[in-house]
Structure 1
Amino acid sequence: MVAFGNDASGDPFADRPFLVFWEVTRACALACRHCRAEAQPQRHPDELDSDEARRLMHQLAELRPPMLILTGGDPLMRRDVLELARLGSDLGLRVGLSPSGTPRLLNTDFHKIREAGIDRISLSLDGASAATHDAFRGVTGTFDRTLQAVHRAHRAGLSVQINTTLTGGNLAEFDAFRDLMFQLKPAMWSVFLLVPTGRAGAKEMASPQDIERIFEQMADLVGTAPFAIKTTEGHHFRRVLAQRGKGGDKGRQGMRSPLGIRDGRGVMFISHTGEVSPSGFLPMVCGNVRLTHPAEIYRQHPLFVSLRDNDALGGKCGRCEFRKICGGSRSRAYGVTGDPFAEDPSCLYQPTAKP
C-alpha cells in the first residue's frame, strides 16, 4: 500500500483522495428504501463503456488513491467489472468490491473475485433479521443470501466489511446487529448514518440523541471487539472516541483512513456516467472524467478545495474543537439545509469554546 501523508501545504488530502468510489453501473436487482443511486433494473445507455472505463482506471492509477471501491447499483451487473478490477490491481491499486446480495452474487465464483485482485468485499446488512433486512432491501431472501455471501467470502480468503445503515426505524435492533457481527466476524463493521438523498428522506433519520447513545455503545466495542469499527457519514463518532481517550491509534483499530477524512476531503465519487462529486451522498457535480482528468477535478475544483478547508465550515461545526478530526457530514448538511458547509444536524454536541 502506498504511503499517505502531508504535502508541502501540510494538508494530507490536498494531492489525492484516500478513497475513490466508482459507481461502475447504476443497475441493480434490489429496490432498497434508502438507495442513494435510485438504482434501476437496467444499465444506463450513457454508462462509461469498456474503453472509457479502462482509460479511467489508468487515470486513477496515476492519481494513486490508497483505496478504490467499485460500487453501484450492483457492480456485478456490469459484465467487465472483474476485468476492470484485475486491471486496477495490475496497475498497483488496492481494489474493493461492493456487490448487492442477489442470486447473481451467489452465482459468482468468489475465488475468481479474489483472483481478480479484489482486496475486500463489502456487504450490507440493514436489518438484524430476515424480516427487517428484506423489508429494507425490498426483495425477499436478501438477508439469507447476504449471510451466505459472507461465509463464501471468508472461505475464498476475501477480507469482509459489513455495512449497516442506521435509521430511526432500525435503531432498536442495535444490540442484535452487534451480536450478529460477533457471529459473522467481519474485518470491519461500517455503521452508516442515513443521509437524505436518493430514495432516503429526512424523516427516516435517527435523532441526534439516539445517535449519541448508539455511538457510546459502539465506543465500548472499540479495542475489545474482534472486528474494527468505523462510521460512514457519522464522523462525530471520532469525537466520541476522542472524548473517551480512544481517539488515537486504538480508536482507529483496523481503520486505515486518516482522521479528518470526509466528503471531498480525502473522498471522491465517480458516477456511472463519469460525473465527479465529493461523495455519492453529496450530489454536486464538479466535472466529468470524459472531459477532465479526475486528479485535476479533485485538486483544483473550488468545491473540493473549500471542502478540504476546516475553517470554511459553518455553524457549530466551524466553531467545534473537534472539527479537524470530524468536520461533520457535509452530505447530511446539504441534504437537510441545501448548504454543504452548514453544521451537521445529526450531532448534538455543543462546542465548549471558540477554537
Structure 2
Amino acid sequence: MKPPAGSARPPAGAGRPPAVVRRPRHSVAERPFLVIWEATRACPLACLHCRAEALTARDPRELDGADARRVMDQTAAFGKPGPLFVITGGDPFQRPDLADLIAYGTSLGLRVAVSPSGTPTLTRAGLEAVRDAGAVALSLSLDGSTAARHDAFRGVPGVYDWTLEGWRTARELGLKVQINTTVSRDSLEDLADIAALVRREGAMLWSGFLLVPTGRAEGLDPPTPAEIEDVLHFLYDCGAVMATKTTEGHHFRRVALQRAVLDARGERPALGPLYGRLRARAAGLGFFEGARRTVRRPPMDVSSGRGFVFVSHTGEVHPSGFLPLSGGNVKERPLTSVYRESALFTSLRDPSLLRGRCGACEFKTVCGGSRSRAYGSTGDVLEEDPYCAYEPGSFPYRREVEALAESTKRRPPPLPYVS
C-alpha cells in the first residue's frame, strides 16, 4: 500500500531500537574506517605518556609534501565514502604545509581532522586556516581538570591555558572538538572533574585513552584491571549526558553490551570502590543534572588493523600508533595493499588466533582486547589484554548479549566525524 500523497516516508531504521555497538558500513577487511597519519614527531611538549617520544626538531626522514599527497591518494583509493583521515603528531602545526595538505585531502573527498598539541601554535589564525582548508574536526588532549594537574602531565607550564583557549576558539570558529583524556594512575581520581569540565566547555566527544606501555609510557604506573573496569562503567554512565568513547579500551564495547542487558533487566553491575567515588564526585558536581542525550552514542567496533590503520612520519604502516610493528612502507607498497594483504593485518582480523583469556572470551569478535597493550606487555600481539578484568563466561545473560551483538551486525550505521 502506497503512502498518501505528500506524506513523508519514515527514515531508514525508524522504529528500531538504537544500536548498542556500531559497525562500519563496509567490510573492515577491505577498507579501514579510520586512517591516522603522523605528520611529524616534532613537538615542544614533554608528555609523560608520549608513544612517539617526540623531539623539538622535525625528523629529516619525514614524509614530504609529495609523499603526504600520495598517502592521501592511497587513502582515497579505498573507495567512497573514504576513511576519516586524521593528521596527528607530534604537533602537526609544526608543518608549514598543514593547511595545504588538508585542502588536498578535502579535494579528494576525504573527511580530514587534525589532532594538534596544546602549544602556542594553537592560534586563532592557525585554526582559521585549517577550518578554511576544509578540516571537519579537531581533537585536543586534556589530562587534568586544573592547570597544575594537566601541565605536570604534559611537562610544560601553560599547556592547560593554551589548550582551553584553542578549544574555545575552535568551537567559536565552528569546528567540532573531541577531547582526549589519558587514563593513568595519576588521573583516576580526577576523571569526574575532567568530565564536568568537558561538559561545561562543550565537546562533540570525550574519549578516555587507556594507557599502552610503549614509548615514554613504559615508565608509568598503570591502573589495575579492576580500576579500569570501574572507569569503563563510569564512562558508560557519562554517555547518558554527553558522547563518550575510548581509545585502546576495546572492552568498552563489552561493557556497553552488558550494561544494555542489565539495564533492560533493572539490574546494576557489581563494581569497585573507584566507580563509587567517581559517581559520587560527578553527582556532587552536578554532572548528571540537566538535559540528557535522547540516544546514547554507541561505541564503534574497530580496532588495530581491523578498521584502523596508522601511517608513521616515515611512512611505516602500523595497525595502531601504539603498536610498533609494521606491515610495510607507503614508499614501497600502496597503503591499500598493506592494509588488505599483509600478514600482520590479516592476522589481527582473525579472532580465532587470539590467545589467553581474549581467545577464550565470548566477546572476542566484538572486543578482541587491545593488541597494542598485549604486545607492549608480553611481546606477543595475539596475547590477552592485561588491562581486562573480565573472566570469560562469567556474565550470566549470554543469550541476550548474543542477540544484541547479532542485531548490531545487521545495522549499517552512519559514519561519524570522529571514531
SS of alignment partner, residue 340 of structure 1 = coil
> Partners in 1 of 2:123 and 2:261 — Cα distance?
38
**Dislocated runs of 4+, deviation >6 Å:** none
Determine the structure 1 residue equivalent to 2:172: 155
Determine the structure 1 residue equivalent to 2:324: 283
Of 49-58 and 163-172, more deviation after overlay is shown by 49-58
Higher relative contact order (CA 8 A, sep 6+): 2
Determine the structure 2 residue equivalent to 1:71: 88
In 2, are the aligned partners of 1:202 and 1:336 still within 8 Å (CA)? no
With normalisation by structure 1, the TM-score equals 0.92
What amino acid maps onto 1:60 in structure 2?
T
> Partners in 2 of 1:218 and 1:56 — Cα distance?
34
Identical aligned residues as a percent: 49
Whether 1:91 and 2:132 are equivalent positions in the alignment is no
Determine the structure 1 residue equivalent to 2:25: 5
C-alpha spacing 1:4/1:173, structure 2 compared with 1 (3 Å): closer
Shift of 1:323: 1.1
CA deviations over 1:238-268 (Å, ceiling 9, x no partner) = 1111111179xx999446x742x11111111
Whether 1:38 and 2:58 are equivalent positions in the alignment is no
Of 48-57 and 12-21, more deviation after overlay is shown by 48-57
Give the superposed CA RMSD.
Answer: 2.0
> Partners in 2 of 1:54 and 1:109 — Cα distance?
21
In 1, are the aligned partners of 2:358 and 2:385 still within 8 Å (CA)? yes
Runs of 5+ unmatched residues, structure 1:
7-11
With normalisation by structure 2, the TM-score equals 0.78
SS of alignment partner, residue 128 of structure 2 = helix
> Partners in 1 of 2:174 and 2:193 — Cα distance?
26
What pairs with 1:315-354 in structure 2 (closer than 5 Å)? Answer: 315-352=356-393
Determine the structure 2 residue equivalent to 1:217: 234
What pairs with 1:122-271 in structure 2 (closer than 5 Å)? Answer: 122-201=139-218, 203-222=220-239, 224-225=240-241, 227-245=242-260, 253-254=296-297, 258-259=300-301, 261-271=302-312
What amino acid maps onto 1:198 in structure 2?
G
> Partners in 1 of 2:109 and 2:261 — Cα distance?
33
C-alpha spacing 1:209/1:202, structure 2 compared with 1 (3 Å): farther
C-alpha spacing 1:251/1:267, structure 2 compared with 1 (3 Å): farther
What amino acid maps onto 1:295 in structure 2?
T
Determine the structure 2 residue equivalent to 1:308: 349
In 1, are the aligned partners of 2:124 and 2:166 still within 8 Å (CA)? no
**Count of residues in correspondence between the two structures:** 342
> Partners in 1 of 2:84 and 2:344 — Cα distance?
22
CA deviations over 1:132-151 (Å, ceiling 9, x no partner) = 10010011000011011111
Alignment match of 1:49 (pick from 45, 53, 64): 64
Shift of 1:4: 4.6
The structure whose Rg is larger is 2
Shift of 1:324: 1.4
Runs of 5+ unmatched residues, structure 2:
1-22, 263-292, 403-419
In 2, are the aligned partners of 1:265 and 1:304 still within 8 Å (CA)? yes
What pairs with 1:288-299 in structure 2 (closer than 5 Å)? Answer: 288-299=329-340
